[in-house]
Amino acid sequence: MNGNDRIIRTEYSEEMQKSFIDYAMSVIVARALPDVRDGLKPVQRRTLYDMHELGIRYDRPYRKSARIVGDTMGKYHPHGDSSIYEALVVMTQDFKKGLPLIDGHGNFGNIEGDGAAAMRYTEARLQKITQEAFLADLDKDVVDFVPNFDETEKEPSVLPVKIPNLLVNGSEGIAVGMATSIPPHNLKEVIDATKAYMMNENITNRELMRYIKGPDFPTGGIVINKDELLEIYETGVGKIKVRGKVEFEQVKGGKTNVVITELPYPMIGANIGKFLSDVAALSETKKTQDIVDISNQSSKEGIRIVIELRKDADAENFVNMLYKKTRLEDTFGVNMLAIANGRPETMSLKQIIKACVDFQYEVNTRKYTNLLAKEMERKEIQEGLIKACNVIDLIIEILRGSKDRNMAKACLVEGKTEGIRFKSRESRIMAEQLCFTEKQANAILEMRLYKLIGLEIEALINEHEETMANIYRYEDILERRDSMAQVIMNELDEIKREYGRPRRTVIENGEEAVYKEKELEEMEVMFLMDRFGYAKTIDMATYERNKEAADTENKFVFPCKNTGKVCLFTDQGQLHTIKVLDLPFGKFRDKGVPVDNVSNYSTEKEQIIYVTSQSELNLKQLLFVTSQAMMKVVDGGEFDVSKRTVAATKLNDGDTVLSVITLTDQHNVILQSKEGYFLRFLVEEIPEKKKGAVGVRGMKLGEKDMLEAVYYTTTTSDAAIEYKSKHLLLNSIKLAKRDGKGVKIRA
């Protein structure tokens, strides 16, 4: 061990706790949450600043996204190129951001969920508003610059954004133990609310909402819980209900088309495909029979999803069904969490605006302090040059009589005349009275002769007057809060005038969607399932016409109610239920649907032993027999369950269900083992148990023997089987007691 190394003994749990808290705070502050002042996450801020540094302005050519991403990653954000490119892509998408900050050229994805092309194919540059309202004044020391990750570069800790960007563009991010979700708002409304706050800092959230009506999603839509918005904006937490915009179009034949022209903001992306699937599923599952066709006619011009309804359909009721059963009505969860004063805080609408306004005062104070200092410096130099022009002959005499620059400068600043040759004693006396400042003296020494032209002197005087006006204005802005407020509001008005747009989202108190489901007429149908597991239902008249073929071609055939359920018992002791409505109802020769498509049954793991209707079970008892000869009778009512899959019986290790049957008039049970033993006994000997029981032993089996078949007969039955080329009458087997070894039948 190195002599400088030290072993630190610490409690493991304490070290884990400290390390995890450090990690969590790093993610919260430096990765996932936006700063309330500029509304940007670090990756967004760094990407925009890097583009600014690279000079990729709105009025210059596009540059490859890969160049921007690589430069950002190398200088400021060492967290992988995918996160940087994803942030860049989102800042270009006008369907996600109310105010896109980057102008993208190429495929940057679309509202339907298609992703952007690879960064090597796309190009980007800054938007004009980003240049003017986000990155302007960075050269005026308006924000603090901090070292980057390896301390080779400097980056701004926050951008001097002139608008409450956190509200305008919203934000979404998942940190550790917390998440932010802020909806976008209308730029005009946010600016009006900001100005209202600046004019009255005691304004309430309710009064601010006279200006900000609610969220303004770039996809439009309708917010339907207007009365709940005030509480959401006061607490910073809540749920906004959003609906898509629907129009009705009358077409030929008296039919109505339901046309969706705007989508709820949470649905954008891959959820549009999910919505179309959900609408199709409503028709497939018989929730509605009004749909004739669905088509997605969306394009660059906008969203257009057309649902064609049949002639006598109730379009209003159908739309209410879409609101209820699909994401055409969706919820946007609001959690207005942002970094304020270096820590995460859930903020109200007023708190966000206050933080942004305070930041504007801070930025403008630094800006105009910096500008004032520059103007004061300019004033000093201008006054020196004007004064020099008035005594230019003396200055020329000093310059010609000095041995070097330092001698001339000392004379101009301190009036030292030693070593300088003057033409007259009067000139020396005048020179001794000179008292220019250091900066003025340098300016005089560097002044060019053409500056002595009359017009140039006049221009110098005009410049001085302009400088004095600027100084007066800057001092007024810095000394009077009202003046600074007016400057900020003027900038906001200019941004509003150039970049404001009308509201897209409608805010209202929508009525609860009431959907009246058509009551299903209960009727008896025939369930058919073939040996391949394809099932369907047909009406009773169709069955009667095709009875012989139906019974011959299908493994399970029984009547059931169309409102009921079908029960599938498997060799693994599972019960799977299927709603009869989930099965296709139609013609006798229709193929049907595989039962594993409409239930949890798995063809790979289990095999169907018995199928019956749940209504039939409620009135009867079931007899279970397993391969290890365990038996029991269970009341059918125990299988009236709501779950799609339950355990129908308990099995010992390695055991499987061999037979399940509904008890009707069976009197005898005949068990046949693989080694040729047969045992016949009365059904009454099998006890009734719960479905969770294993049951009792029906037959003593040899060490390697197991049941191969189970037969049931009535007292008078003459049923027979072919066994080893021998005709065996089942009731001829000697009647014995349960749990016997049985008799061996030889060939």
Positions annotated as catalytic residues are: 121
723, burial (CB in 10 Å: exposed 0-12, middle 13-18, buried 19+): middle
Question: Rounded to 5 degrees, what angle do the CA atoms 47, 53, 59 make?
Answer: 95
Q: 245 and 266 in contact (C-beta within 8 Å)? A: no
- 3-class secondary structure, 572: coil
Q: 230 and 252 in contact (C-beta within 8 Å)? A: no
CA distances from 32 to 65, 70, 275, 337, 558 (A): 22, 21, 29, 11, 60
Provide the residue type at 125 as one letter.
R
321, burial (CB in 10 Å: exposed 0-12, middle 13-18, buried 19+): buried
Q: 528 and 613 in contact (C-beta within 8 Å)? A: no
User: Counting every residue, how long is the chain?
Assistant: 747
Helix axes 315-325, 271-284, angle to 10 degrees: 120
Question: 3-state secondary structure string, 153-199?
Answer: CEEECCCCCCCCHHHHHCEEEECCCCEEEECCCCHHHHHHHHHHHHH
303, burial (CB in 10 Å: exposed 0-12, middle 13-18, buried 19+): buried
Rounded CA gap, 173 and 41, in Å? 9
Q: 124 and 135 in contact (C-beta within 8 Å)? A: no
- 3-class secondary structure, 248: strand
Rounded CA gap, 305 and 260, in Å? 5
Question: Rounded to 5 degrees, what angle do the CA atoms 420, 424, 428 make?
Answer: 50
Nearest to 321 by CA among 581, 513, 519: 513
Rounded CA gap, 69 and 149, in Å? 16
Of the chain, the end-to-end C-alpha distance in Å amounts to: 85
Helix axes 187-199, 349-390, angle to 10 degrees: 80
